[in-house]
Amino acid sequence: MTCLSDIDLATLHQHRLEERFSYKLAWSGTAHQQTQYNDLLVRHNASLKRQRIIQHKANQATSTKQREQGEATTNTASNQDSQLTKSEDEHDDGYFDSSTRRRRSGTWPRTRSLNAPSPFQQFGPCGRIMKNSAMVMQIQDPASQRLTWYKPPLTVLVIKKKDSQVLLPFVQLVEWLVQEKHMVVWVESAVLEDKLLRDDFKLENESAKFRQVHGDYCGVRERFLALREKLVTFKDGRDDLTDRIDFIVCLGGDGTLLYASQLFQQSVPPVMAFYLGSLGFLTPFQCDNFQEQVTNVLEGHAALTLRSRLRCSIHRKGERRKESLQPAGSNLLKPSQHRHLNYVELNNGSFTGGNNNYCNPHMSSNNSILVLNEVVINRGPSPYLSNIDIFLDGKYITSVQGDGLIVSTPTGSTAYAAAAGASMIHPSVPAILVTPICPHSLSFRPIVVPAGVELRISISPDSRNTSRVSFDGRNDQELNHGDSLRVTTSIYPVPSICSQDQISDWFDSLAEGLHWNVRKRQKCLDELSDLTASGSEDTLDEFDNLKIYDV
């Protein structure tokens, strides 16, 4: 996908390239990006060499002047010369030294860690943070998160979007995985029902356009039918894929990754997403050389982005009394146990709430569902404003009067939340984003809260209507008076495999998918600007006359 702008991606991400050179990191972009990368290195090394020569001559002039004046600073000048020579020898193979990075950034050079710096725990001569067992925690640096297999992956789930243009790369991938990698390939049962991949029905009953398309895919269909019996199928809502899949490959847009997240309500296998859709913000891989890319992942050469998910649970009015009457051997947790085991998530039950006799296979027995993007509470078809109360860890925060509310993950901050005016958050940031939808207030801005809190959202008692709630755009439910929705961060993220690394993939997606911060470059001052800036009408008239004569 090409960025439709005049801004060079290498220029947009020049600060990342500088850090890669500084820390001697490898660049694994495309051939075009590699050329830009090398050109940037040559240009900067030449500029850096000129700066060193100028600085060296300036130091020599200063040393000569100091010697002529007989000052006592001669030794200092000679030490500067020797240090400069040593610096040139040390940094011939590097890119920036620490002083250069300080000059460019205005601060001390940052480390490779994506974690925030650990705060100093002593405040003044007397104060410090009280030590307790809750302080003992280990947070892995997101920059060091790389995929490793403790045993070779054998089963792969291939998910494709419903589009005829995806059939050829889908068949090519499945054929290569079965014949070359000898893997067990799982596909959705609906794939076998695709008429473009079947020849056991009457074409006379179809339209002329379909018959033409069916004939165009004759070669693809024959290749698929040759390996159809080797595929394992599943049906969404009926088959449980937990602990059956080692690896996931998505072919399509961002929706395929959301669908993969929905299929796994506990631990999710590593997901490799190929761009074959419209936007492709979450799909960093291209299908041109999928054999090489998949092989690298299967060998464990890949970085990971752990995309956090939200655990959402609906608590119906009167449910607490029903839970208190459950026998001791019931799978439902008592309220006290539910608060204590805040991150326990079950996945072997159905959901029935309110007046909706609806069985959701992705809801667990404690009514929880995991979402990758966002959970949305809106007023539905009602003409009245939504009136929603928000509680954070049991404390009342505020009420939303408007069209609704979006509670999203950092991954979802570039989806519906971005359209509603929220900030975009890197997926490695542990946070929950709360964004109102068209609030009837001039001062209600989106907020970001820590990932460990629990949000409780309920309909205000004086609300004129009920609300609707949906999870990643699916499983629409009604939220009645007295019901509440509880949202917190799940312990089961989606391990999304990076094409390059966490930083490069995200900013490339912002630039290419959303055209973030794209505008025409401001032109430098020229003679015309100097004339217009003078404010003299006579000068402008003379300039216009000159233009006429030139013609």
End-to-end CA distance of the chain: 43
The distance between the two most distant Cα atoms of the chain, rounded to a whole number of Å, is: 105
Q: Could you tell me whether strands 310-315 and 368-371 are parallel, antiparallel, or unpaired per DSSP bridges?
A: antiparallel
Residue 156 near residue 248 (C-beta atoms within 8 A): yes
What is the sign of the dihedral through the CA atoms of 341, 410, 398 and 352? negative
CB 378 within 8 A of CB 468: yes
Low-confidence ranges of the chain (pLDDT < 70): 1-37, 39-41, 44, 65-112, 124, 133-139, 320-367, 527-551
Interval 54-110: pLDDT, tens: 777 777 777 776 666 654 444 444 444 444 444 444 444 443 343 333 333 333 333
Predicted TM-score of the model (pTM): 0.69
Which ranges constitute the DSSP H helices of 91-242?
98-105, 167-179, 189-192, 208-216, 218-227
pLDDT at 242: 87
What pLDDT sits at residue 93? 41
Q: Residues 6 or more apart from 247 whose CB is under 8 A from it?
A: 153, 155, 156, 157, 269, 270, 272, 297, 298
Give CA–CA dist 96/98, Å, rounded: 7
The predicted pLDDT at position 4 comes to 42
The two tokens of residue 82 are 């020797």
Mean pLDDT of the residues in the chain: 77
Residue with tokens 């003409």: 383
48: three-class secondary structure by DSSP: helix
In our burial notation (b when 16+ CB lie closer than 10 A, e otherwise), range 518-545 reads: eeeeeeeeeeeeeeeeeeeeeeeeeeee
Closest CA to 457 of 404, 419, 410, 417: 404
Asked if residue 135 lies in contact with residue 225, where contact means CB atoms within 8 angstroms, the answer is: no
How many Cβ atoms sit within 10 Å of the Cβ of residue 155? 16
Q: Mind giving me the DSSP string for 245-265?
A: -SEEEEEESHHHHHHHHHH-S
Going by the DSSP 8-state scheme, the letter that residue 295 receives in this structure is H
Rounded to 5°, the CA angle 347-483-378 comes to 90
Residue 295, pLDDT score: 93
pLDDT digits (tens, 9 = 90+) for 173-196: 999 999 999 999 999 999 988 888
Which residues neighbour 166 within 8 Å (Cβ) at sequence distance 6 or greater?
160, 251, 252, 276
Report the candidate in 393, 406, 392, 374 with the shortest Cα–Cα distance to residue 307: 374
Residue 279: predicted pLDDT:
83
Helix (H) or strand (E) holding 37: helix 31-69
Identity of the residue numbered 274: F
